[in-house]
Amino acid sequence: MPGESRPVILFVNHWARRLGGAEYSLLDILAYIAPRCQAHLLTSEHGVLTRQASALGVTCHHVPCRLKPNGIGRKGLFGAFFSNIPEFISFFGFVMRASALVRRLSPRCVHANVPKSHVTLFLFAAMGYRGPCWFHMREIFKKGSTPYRLYQLLFPRKTGQCIAISHAVGSRMPPAMREKCRVIHNGVAIPPVMAAAEARRELRFVYLGRVVPWKGCHRLVGMFADAKKKYPAITLTIVGDTLYWPQDYRWTLTDQIKELSLEESCFLLPHTQDPFRELGNHHVFCNASFEEPFGRSIAEAQAAGMPVVAFDGGGVGEIVISGRTGLLAPYGDETAFVHAMETFIENPSLVATMGKAGRQRAAVLFNRDIQIPLIGETILSPPAVSP
C-alpha cells in the first residue's frame, strides 16, 4: 500500500525524557502500528521515548512546554496546572501550537496516552477539533474528586473513545466515559523460559518499578523489616527510578533503610534496562502500591515465573489470583502482608508452584503478542463518531 494512502494517526505523550510503564506500553503500540499507518508522536521534550519511536519509523514532533512533572501527585494532577502561572501559560502555548499541528496533519484520530495528554486532547476538542479521540486510561480517580469531575465535564461525548488498562480503571470512570470504554490489559513480554531463581528459605524479595510514594516503597521497607526480625536471612531489593518526582523521596528511603539497620539486606538500585535479568535473581515479587491501576511489573514478574505478594487494590486482583499465583493482603493490612511474605519463607516450594501458575496466566491474559495487536487494531479501526 502506498505510504500516502495509509491513515495518519497522531499519538500524544507529554513526557519523553524518561520511560515509565505508560511509555513502555506506548512503544509497544507504536512498534505494531507504525508499519500499518503514518504514525506521528507529539511530545513536549526530547528523550528516550522520541529516540526509540523514531527508530520505529514514527515521525516525532517536539513542542516545548515549561510544565514540570516533579511533585505532581496523582491527587493533585489538575491543580498543578494552576499552581504556577508561567507554567500554566506555557502549557496553553503548547496546546495552541499542538492544535496547529493537528490541523496540518488532519489525522484519522488522536491517541492521548497519559493524563497530561488527555488534558491536551480535551482542549483540542474545545478549540474545534471534531475528529475521533482515543483516551488511553491508566489512572484510577476517586469518584467526586476534581479529576473525576473534570473528565466528566470535558470528555468529548461525540468523538471520544477510551481504552482502559484494567476493569478497575474502567469501572471507576465517569459514566460518560464508561459508555465509550473498552478494557484491554497491558501486554508484557513472555520470556522463553522461567527466569525466577530456585527458592530456598533465604528468600530474596524484589520490587521493580517507579520509586515514588504512591507505589508504597516506604511501606514495603517497613514490612520487610518486620519480617526480617523473625527471618534474618531474607533480603529485599528495590529497583527503579524516582521518575518524575522529587529525589527527596529516594533519600527518605535511604535514611529509612539506615534507621532500621537494613543496609546489609535491603538494597535500593537504579532503573534497569533488563527487568527479566533482575527478576531472575530473586524469588518473590512484592508490591505495596495504593490502588495500582494495573501493575505492569506485576505482570512481568508472573511472566518470569515469580509469585507475587501485594495489596488487593485496584487492578492487582485482575493479575494475581490469591492462593494460586501469589498472595494478596487486604489493602492497608500490613500484618497480613508480612504474613504473606512469611508464608513463602516457610514454604519455599510455593515459589515454584505459584510461579508456574502465574507464568501460565500471564502467557494467556497479558501476552504482548496478543494484547498489543488488540490495542493497535482498536486504534486503527474505522473511527466511531456518535450522532
CATH 3.40.50.2000 fits 204-365, yes or no: yes
Q: What is the pLDDT of residues 314-360, one digit of tens each?
A: 999 999 999 999 999 999 999 999 999 999 999 999 999 999 999 99
Q: What is the pLDDT of residues 210-250, one digit of tens each?
A: 999 999 999 999 999 999 999 999 999 999 999 878 899 99
pLDDT band at residue 186 under the 50/70/90 scheme = very high
Could you tell me where in the chain the CATH 3.40.50.2000 domains are found? 3-187+368-380, 204-365
**Residue 2's pLDDT is what?**
44
Top-confidence residue, 50 or 86: 50
Top-confidence residue, 114 or 72: 114
**Residue 385's pLDDT is what?**
60
Q: Are strands 308-312 and 181-183 parallel, antiparallel or unpaired?
A: unpaired
Which CATH class, in words, describes the domain spanning 3-187+368-380?
A: alpha beta
Share of the chain above pLDDT 90, in %: 76
**Residue 128's pLDDT is what?**
87
**Residue 73's pLDDT is what?**
45
Average pLDDT score, the chain: 91
pLDDT band at residue 87 under the 50/70/90 scheme = confident
- Beta strand ranges found along the chain (DSSP E): 8-12, 38-43, 59-62, 109-112, 133-137, 160-164, 181-183, 204-208, 235-239, 266-269, 284-287, 308-312, 326-330
pTM: 0.91
By CB atoms closer than 10 A (0-12, 13-18, 19+), residue 152 is middle
Please list, in sequence order, all residues whose beta carbon lies within 8 angstroms of the beta carbon of residue 258, skipping any fewer than 6 positions away. none
Nearest residue to 197 (alpha-carbon basis) of 122, 120, 305, 87: 305
Q: Does the pLDDT of residue 154 top 60, yes or no?
A: yes
pLDDT band at residue 382 under the 50/70/90 scheme = confident
| φ/ψ of residue 294, rounded to 5 | -140, -70
Cα(356)–Cα(360) distance, integer angstroms: 6
